[in-house]
Amino acid sequence: MDPTQRQTPPSYSKESLIRRYKPIWRILLISNLALGGYMFAKARKKNSRVEDRKRPGPHDEDNQATDAVSSGLTPASPLSEEPSVPPTVIEPVKVREPIPEDQQRELFKWILEEKRKVKPKDPKEKKRIDEEKAILKQFIRAESIPQL
């Protein structure tokens, strides 16, 4: 090789760059369109739920009749079907055994210790914590603890 002949770095033409990155552009455009479609579908679904929740009041019955006639619906046909709500199952309340007084006192002592560890942020919170500690001390010193 001659020193006069230098190798120039290969220059890429615009056309070859476009061909090289074409799949990437396609993926970006398709994913962007899919995301936009998803967002519009979610917004539309949310709007339709809000409209379904709106129920006409007694003063809107005349408007319903005129709307039903103009839309070709008969008054006997339902304007919108409401999803059926499954019946709620009420579980019986479990009656628990009362906590013995000595365990309650130990619990109150523990709560009092935790309240002492708390660092108040402002005077209002300090006052509230002091009041709670005073109530706990009363419960601890009392001969009998009230049952809840």
Domain assignment present for residue 48? The answer is: yes
For 125-142, write each residue's pLDDT tens digit: 999 999 999 999 998 888
Assess if residue 90 is contained within a domain.
no
Per-residue pLDDT at 53: 65
Residue 67 included in any domain: no
In a domain, 113, yes or no: yes
Buried (b) or exposed (e) across 100-115, using 16+ Cβ within 10 A?
eeeebeeebeeebeee
Q: Are 73 and 104 in contact (CB under 8 A)?
A: no
* Alpha helix segments (H runs only) across the chain: 14-53, 61-71, 101-117, 123-141
Evaluate whether residue 116 is within a structural domain: yes
Tell me which residues of the chain have a pLDDT lower than 50: 60-62, 65, 68-69, 73
pLDDT attached to residue 25:
86
pLDDT of residue 143: 83
**Residue 78 falls inside a structural domain:** no
Domain assignment present for residue 45? The answer is yes
Count of domains forming the chain: 2
**Does 63 map to a domain?**
no
User: What residues make up the domain containing 115?
Assistant: 99-147
- The one-letter code for the residue type at 55 is R
